[in-house]
Structure 1
Amino acid sequence: MDSPLSPSSARKEAGMVLTLILLLSGPSQRAMAAQRQQGVECIVFNDQYLTCMWGSKEMPTANYSLYYWYFPPGVENHMPVECKHYLQEEGINTGCWFNHSEIIQFRTFYIHINASHEGRSLVIPTKAMKLQDLVKPAPPVNLTIQNISNNQLQLTWDSMYNKPRCLEYAVRYKSNKDTRWTEHLASGKIFSFPSVDYEKYYTFYVKSKINQYCGTTQLWSEWSVPVFWGNNATDTGMAEKQPPWFWIHVVLPTASLMLILVLVILLIRMERVWVIFMPRIPNPSKNFDELFNTHQGNFPEWAGVSKDVVESFKPNYSESFCYVSELPPKEGSSPLWGGHDKPRAPPGRSSVPASSSSPGLILSKKSYVGV
């Protein structure tokens, strides 16, 4: 018969058993704590697709599976159906994506998410929701500002949501002199500003959400692309506030155009300088084509000289020449003239009349002389 345990031994054995229970239950308790922290968040984006995320706050430790169904049952989706398009991160399922044909509004939408981890079943509690209350519209587009009076502006925009009557809007604006944004609600796609300052530079944004007639939600769309109005000349810091699209679509093309214009001007000026330092030799052939081709080399006709002037330069007289020859002197005879003696006629030749005053010259029939 076994002897009973002493009190001290019994306390030691109870402590060991308790420690073993804590060690064995530790992983399951941590898994249950993680399960309690996890939840699911579903959003219908612009009535185009639906996403349900359960790994948005904490990364799950197992691959969960999602099943969904609608109530009351209909012709379609009346039985639980597993997600067809899982969203994963690092190989772990973190969400489910539903296409447009899988979205049915104004019926209760149920989802059930579970997983198996280390031989235990992990469950994210079943959740029921109304999809018409989970719609997040797309941001408004085509923001336009018009002057409807001297100090009044009108802001208009368009919506990409297929049911524009189900939307309400919020307008946010601020000038370059303001420190806080001002917001106003608008029921339609138009908003008027009663008073503006032409010396200020305004920035406008618009967002939208489903109104109370089509759903109960607080899911606003993202803010639209901003639109600007006003005088920006006196604001030195506004260049830093311009959105990136302003620099890409406005500043960069303008700067490129100015650079090309400057290069063209410099090229033209360099061409003029080159012509000054290295003048081109003119080609006279083109200037004399008419002289040789049309006027056949007739320079007076080509130059436009009248016929009277040309005729005046032609000689209108004629003259005859008298040729003079000299016979060689005979031997022993004295020259025909020498020193200051008058010339004597050679034998057999008629002498020049005594009245001639130029020695050694024979006059012609006229007053012209020849040597």
Structure 2
Amino acid sequence: TMLKRLLLLLCLTGHVFAKEPPDVECLVVHLKYVHCSWNKQGTPEVNYTFYGWFCPSYLSENNINTGCNQPYGSRFNSFYTRLVHENQSSKEKEHYLKEKVKLNPPTNLTVHYGSDSNLWLSWTQISQISSNCVESEVRYRINNRNWASSRVSIGKQNYCLNLPSHSSLYELQVRSRIGYACGLSEFWSDWTEPVVWGSNNSTDPNKMNSSMSVWTPVLSVVGAFILIVLVMMLLHNERIRIIFIPVVPKPSPNLQNIEVSKGLNYNERPCPVREYCHVRQSDSESSDCSTCSATTDQTDCSVFIPVNESDLSTPCSSSISQF
């Protein structure tokens, strides 16, 4: 009796501690083949035998089978799988493939600026079903900011972005899936590689323009200050000479006996010169001059040229002081 109880306990505990096979997930890839895998929770420790329709090729990691690709039948029929380990433990599962379709990303992405001043993105969706069964989603971003997404109606393979800015950089991507009209799929395709349009600058041109507008007056003030400093330094180091050259009066043709010193030095202070009239003796009473002599302000003057008696008949004569 004790032995039977012990054997029963070992059987129960052995069944409890027996490792359950992993779960199997199946996906219809672009309506071409069915991909089933059992490594969602990690690579299993032992190899399992997969039973579906049949498995022509296994997928493996570290020599352990982790999946199987098999031909595609119909996604509207139920699909049964069984995973077995050494004929001891097995796990069966029914799959509804209608909602398990994952399309390949769209191809032939092109972007151009239209005559309506809008940005047009177009693509091609290659699949074995009508394009009226495929819905798409577009996402774009401007100057490396956050992505913005927009759904595209079923059957359409183009998207319009209104009034783009030529000074900004636009990146656009597309993904697609089976739409409601043909049995909505849970899975979107992967995003396409981005297509780019607009300015090729890595920074925002608007920010650059605004920053330049802020720095322009500052740079102008700094430049003017530097120019003033340079001019002041130049004036400080350079000796400026201002030489005043007095105007020499044009001698009268009647003026005689005028002698000009050859050693005329124009750096000396100018000496004033003034003319005077010789008054006859008979007119002395009505004249302001009481004598026939000439007076000259000889301040800082070194030479005085007298008037000869033979020139008395000349109405006016000049007295010139040398300076």
Q: Which runs of 5+ in 2 are unaligned?
A: 206-323
Is 1:206 matched up with 2:190? no
- 1:293-328 per-position Cα deviation (integer Å, ceiling 9, x unaligned): xxxxxxxxxxxxxxxxxxxxxxxxxxxxxxxxxxxx
**Gaps spanning 5+ residues in structure 1: where?**
1-12, 69-80, 238-371
Matched with 1:29 is 16
1:107 aligns with 2:74: no
Paired residues in the alignment total: 199
Q: Distance in 1 between matches of 2:40 and 2:202?
A: 46
Q: Is 2:143–2:202's contact at 8 Å kept on the other side of the alignment?
A: no
* Matched residue, 2:157: 189
Q: Which residue of 1 aligns with 2:191?
A: 223
Specify the alignment match of 1:174 in structure 2: 141
Q: Distance in 2 between matches of 1:61 and 1:94?
A: 10
Q: How far 1:25 sits from its partner (Å)?
A: 5.8
More helix by share: 1
- 2:92 and 2:191 map into 1 onto residues whose CA distance is 34
Equivalent residue number for residue 63 of structure 1: 47
Q: Distance in 2 between matches of 1:236 and 1:151?
A: 21
Name the amino acid aligned to 1:31: A
Q: TM-score, normalised by structure 2?
A: 0.55
Aligned-pair CA distance for 1:98: 0.6
Q: Is the 8 A contact 1:62 1:116 kept in 2?
A: no
Question: Larger Rg: 1 or 2?
Answer: 1
TM superposition shift of 1:218: 1.6
Is 1:83 aligned to 2:55, yes or no? Answer: yes
Matched, 1:132 2:104: no
**Alignment partner of 1:98 is 2:64:** no
**Counterparts of 2:161 and 2:181, CA distance in 1:** 27
Deviation for aligned residue 1:232: 2.0
In structure 1, C-alpha distance between the alignment counterparts of 2:10 and 2:80, rounded to whole Å = 37
* Post-superposition offset of 1:141: 1.1
CA RMSD of the aligned region, Å?
2.8
Q: 1:279 maps to which residue?
A: none
Higher relative contact order (CA 8 A, sep 6+): 2
Does residue 1:152 correspond to 2:118, yes or no? yes
Q: TM-score, normalised by structure 1?
A: 0.48
Determine the structure 1 residue equivalent to 2:271: none
Partner-residue secondary structure (3-state), 2:86: strand
C-alpha displacement of 1:91: 2.8
Cα distance in structure 1, aligned partners of 2:173 and 2:40: 28
Q: Conserved in 2, the CA contact under 8 Å of 1:46 and 1:138?
A: yes
